[in-house]
């Protein structure tokens, strides 16, 4: 019999991840606050739920891919939340980028209900989700991780085990996103310097990605910025604010000075103030250009 899985959160990442599971033979029950976002999955055989809780069967597996801490709390807690609905033997596979503190809290709640919470945020944009090429970070109890491994294999190309603590994968994801945002800021400033120095930025990007910066991350963001390709967004700038604020909160909890993260937060806020919230988070490059007197 096909394994039945609940899936909550059908945004730009959630839909291709759910499609990968359907293609791998899993039977999905799906829910999204905007019900129409489930239409394509229902057409492919998924069952539509009327609430997040309805996606979960007692003792089963439910996946969440929601926007932030508040959304994850809303679908997980309370009498109609996933924790109580899954109950004994249930596994909540949380694949959102959320705070380590919330993962610790939800792990405790699920444990009291007899179930297990796994943190499993992903690295990669929607194109990688569609290609089943995500990198998946996971932490939590070993037995539950083994139970969900076939799902992870269907959605991603590689899974990294960050231990049995409830929040290790979230810490890793925030470190990862901090480095991405730092690189975007550095790329933005470097290209502005190059352009004002009389160089063609497409040539600059080619030199960089053909030598020391020959990596998928630099290739991707240099391409986006040099082509001015901020729409459609792979990850919106307004969501980038959420991530950098999570980084700063984590740093504060550990008494870790994070001056670069503070600078990036200010740059993102500048972009939001200039109406760039719906653009790709690489649009901080537009802020750098405008600050340097170049046309947007």
User: Cα-flanking dihedrals φ and ψ of residue 270, to 5°?
Assistant: -60, -45
Are residues 151 and 48 located together in one domain of the fold? Answer: yes
Tens digit of pLDDT at every position of the chain (296 positions): 678 999 999 999 999 999 999 999 999 999 999 999 999 999 999 999 999 999 999 999 999 999 999 999 999 999 889 999 999 999 999 999 999 999 999 999 999 999 999 999 999 999 999 999 999 999 999 999 999 999 999 999 999 999 999 999 999 999 999 999 999 999 999 999 999 999 999 999 999 999 999 999 999 999 999 999 999 999 999 999 999 999 999 999 999 999 999 999 999 999 999 999 999 999 999 999 999 999 88
User: Final residue of a domain: which of 165, 184, 202?
Assistant: 165
176 shares its domain with 159: no
- On whether residue 112 sits in a domain, the answer given is yes
- In order, the DSSP letters of 25-41 are T-EEEEE-SSGGGGHHH
The CATH number of residue 67's host domain is: 3.40.50.720
Active-site residue, 145 included: no
Q: What is the CATH number of the domain that holds 194?
A: 1.10.1040.10
Q: Are 63 and 6 in contact (CB under 8 A)?
A: yes
Cβ partners under 8 Å of residue 181, min gap 6: 240, 243, 244, 264, 268, 281, 284
Does 271 lie in the same domain as 155?
no
Helices (H), the chain: 14-23, 39-43, 69-76, 82-86, 100-112, 126-130, 142-155, 168-196, 201-209, 216-227, 237-253, 259-273, 284-291
pLDDT at 295: 86
Q: Clarify whether residues 155 and 191 are in a common domain.
A: no
Final residue before a domain boundary, out of 106, 139, 165: 165
In a domain, 45, yes or no: yes
Asked whether residue 296 is assigned to any structural domain, the reply reads: no
Please check whether residues 198 and 160 belong to one and the same domain. Answer: no
In a domain, 135, yes or no: yes
What pLDDT, on the 0 to 100 scale, is given for residue 2?
76
239 assigned to some structural domain: yes
Residues 137 and 29 in one domain: yes
> Which pLDDT belongs to residue 249?
97
Rounded CA-CA distance 281/187 in Å is 13
Q: Which residues are registered as beta bridge partners of 116?
A: 91
Which is nearest to 53 in space by CA: 69, 35, 31, 71?
31
**159 and 177 together in one domain:** no
In a domain, residue 105? The reply is yes
Residue 207 CB-half CA count within 13 A: 9
Structural domain span for residue 51: 4-165
Looking at the structure of the chain, the number of domains it has is 2
Element (H, E) at 52: none
- Identify whether residues 153 and 191 lie together within a single domain: no
pLDDT value of residue 1: 65
160 and 261 belong to one structural domain: no
Placement of tokens 């901090």 in the chain: 178
Instruction: Among 125, 144, 165, identify where a domain stops.
Output: 165
Q: Same domain, yes or no, for 139 and 216?
A: no
d(C-alpha 19, C-alpha 35), whole Å = 16
pLDDT at residue number 133: 96
Both 67 and 184 in one domain: the answer is: no
- 145, 173, 236, 242: which is the annotated catalytic residue? 173
The reply to whether 117 and 192 lie within a common domain is no
- Bond before 232 cis per omega within 30 degrees: yes
According to DSSP, the β-strands at 4-8 and 61-64 are: parallel
């Amino acid at each position: 019999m096909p394994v039945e899985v609940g899936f909550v959160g059908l945004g730009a990442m959630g839909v291709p991840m759910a499609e990968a599971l359907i293609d791998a033979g899993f039977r999905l029950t799906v829910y999204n606050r905007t019900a129409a976002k489930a239409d394509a999955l229902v057409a492919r055989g998924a069952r539509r739920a009327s609430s997040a809780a309805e996606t979960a069967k007692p003792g089963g597996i439910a996946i969440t891919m929601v926007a932030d801490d508040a959304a994850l709390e809303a679908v997980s807690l309370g009498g109609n939340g996933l924790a109580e609905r899954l109950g004994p033997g249930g596994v909540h596979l949380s694949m959102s980028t959320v705070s380590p503190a919330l993962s610790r809290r939800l792990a405790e709640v699920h444990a009291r209900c007899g179930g297990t919470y796994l943190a499993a945020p992903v690295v990669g944009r929607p194109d990688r989700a569609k290609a089943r090429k995500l990198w998946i970070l996971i932490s939590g109890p070993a037995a539950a991780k083994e139970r969900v491994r076939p799902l992870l294999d269907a959605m991603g190309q590689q899974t990294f085990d960050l231990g049995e603590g409830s929040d290790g994968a979230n810490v890793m994801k925030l470190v990862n996103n901090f480095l991405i945002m730092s690189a975007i800021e550095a790329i933005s400033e470097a290209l502005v310097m190059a352009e004002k120095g009389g160089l063609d930025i497409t040539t600059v990007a080619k030199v960089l990605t053909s030598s020391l910066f020959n990596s998928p991350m630099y290739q991707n963001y240099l391409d986006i910025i040099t082509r001015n390709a901020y729409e459609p967004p792979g990850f919106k700038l307004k969501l980038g604010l959420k991530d950098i604020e999570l980084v700063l909160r984590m740093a504060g909890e550990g008494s870790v000075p994070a001056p670069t993260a503070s600078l990036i937060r200010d740059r993102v806020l500048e972009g939001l103030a200039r109406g760039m919230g719906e653009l790709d988070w690489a649009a901080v490059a537009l802020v750098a250009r405008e600050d340097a007197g170049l046309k947007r």
